[in-house]
Structure 1
Amino acid sequence: MSRLRLLSAAALLAVAANAHATSFIVTTDAVVGALKSSSDATSDASSSLRDNKIVRAARDDAASFVASNGDIRGVKLESAIDEIHRQLPQLNATDAQIAQAILAI
């Protein structure tokens, strides 16, 4: 193989490897940034709910709701669900998911 072809192939390989590594780094940075933003928002929301007296008072009702597969709906749980929907209008969760989240807080 001629020396010019060998140098051209090596240069092309170096450029391709550099472009691939750069796109990987940019993609990784974007994914990590998005996850961090989502995690920060979730953390802020859960910490504000954790400190909410209405939500904390609903733990027993949430446990009854989960244990009965939704048959037992206490007044405190209903109040907490309303409070959570008021604080987080963008939340798209079922009552069962909210009850489980209250138990996890």
Structure 2
Amino acid sequence: MSRLRLLCTAAVLTLAANANASSFIMTTDSIVGALKATSDATSDATSSLRDNKVVQAARDDAASFVASEGAIRGVKLESALAHIRQQAPQLAIATDAQLAQAILAI
């Protein structure tokens, strides 16, 4: 009788381990897929802005804005911020300071 219980316990543990492993794999696949989609969207947005003349022209104004902690707002920076928010709606929630830093980074 104890052999039967031991065999049943081993079978249940094996099934439970397989269920947990497949659940873990499905969860990580979902998370990785979501991160990849977000990364691709952000990459597409920044690469299209990287080559934009309006954004490139605002680099000096962005540097002044960041250095003065928002006190100096140049016309080219204002134009670039409006352009970025129009071209990349997913970046519309970013603050002016975040976008100015992004302009300096690209």
TM-score (norm 2): 0.96
Counterparts of 1:29 and 1:14, CA distance in 2? 23
Unaligned 5+ residue runs, structure 2? none
Cross-structure match for 1:62: 62
Are positions 1:38 and 2:38 aligned together? yes
Shift of 1:88: 1.8
Are positions 1:93 and 2:94 aligned together? yes
Counterparts of 2:57 and 2:25, CA distance in 1? 46
TM-score (norm 1): 0.97
Counterparts of 1:12 and 1:89, CA distance in 2? 51
Shift of 1:19: 0.3
Cross-structure match for 1:22: 22
- Aligned residues, how many? 105
Cross-structure match for 1:102: 103
Paired residue secondary structure (1:90): helix
Residue identity matched to 2:42: T
Unaligned 5+ residue runs, structure 1? none
Counterparts of 1:73 and 1:18, CA distance in 2? 59
Calculate percent identity across the aligned residue pairs. 76
Cross-structure match for 1:7: 7
Deviations 1:19-40 (A, max 9, x none): 0000000001001111111111
